Amino acid sequence: MIYPSQEFVDDENLTATAQAWEALSGDPGVVALTNEFVEEHDLPTAMRYPWDQSKGVYLLQGFHNLHCLRTVYRSIMNYHLHRPQQIALVHILHCLDELRQDVICHADDTPRYAGLQDPPGTGRGQVKMCRDWEALERWSLEHTACFKHEDEIADRMVNRFKFCPDGSQPWLGKEGIVQPRL
């Protein structure tokens, strides 16, 4: 697979670059997994999904990485454009550490060729064996927790679980809205 990376590094069109980075979202990776699934995969117990107490809420690692990349991108752009930082330093440091851990954990040993590119870089256009990201997206949507991350906005956590991609409203009970404690 060749990564379509140009849209993320176009320094002549920062608007297009910003649109590409802002389109990255970790939200689809917030999933609600059944207790049976959790037991079968030996996962730690997570907070309960507010609309179904037989499910726990988990964030898939790849989607968390995208969230972190976008967070770091936003911080860099705030610096570049001489804007005040809008993201807490501890959040940025958390993201950098998570990305560092993931790089070390995966220890990718793909040899990237060097030189002879314009602009200079390593591995540009090189074919690389990748997992099927679209399959992961499909699986995550089948197990959606209807979550939307509102950056740096204080709100009741339960309200973030009301963004189902298919338009369903699992919080509506037979007699109105279920009000879990979150």
Q: How confident is the model over 52-74, as a mean pLDDT?
A: 95
Alpha-helix residue ranges (DSSP H) falling in 114-182: 133-142
Q: In the chain, pLDDT over 90 holds for what percent of residues? A: 55
What is the rounded CA–CA span in Å between residue 46 and residue 127? 38
* Distance (Å) of CA 81 to CA 13, 42, 76, 78, 145: 14, 45, 9, 5, 35
Residue 166 lies in a domain: no
State the total domains in the chain: 1
Residue 4 lies in a domain: no
What is the rounded CA–CA span in Å between residue 92 and residue 68? 8
Q: What is the pTM of this model?
A: 0.81
Residue 175 lies in a domain: no
Of 80 and 153, more confident: 80
DSSP of 150-161: -TT----GGGGG
Residue 157 lies in a domain: yes
- Number of Cβ within 10 Å of residue 62's Cβ equals 16
Residue 105 lies in a domain: yes
Is omega for the bond preceding 119 within 30 degrees of 0, making it cis?
yes
Q: Which domain holds residue 135?
A: 14-111+124-161
Residue 179 lies in a domain: no
Residue 168 lies in a domain: no
pLDDT per residue over 81-124, tens digit each?
999 998 999 999 999 999 999 999 999 888 888 877 666 677 77
What is the rounded CA–CA span in Å between residue 10 and residue 13? 6
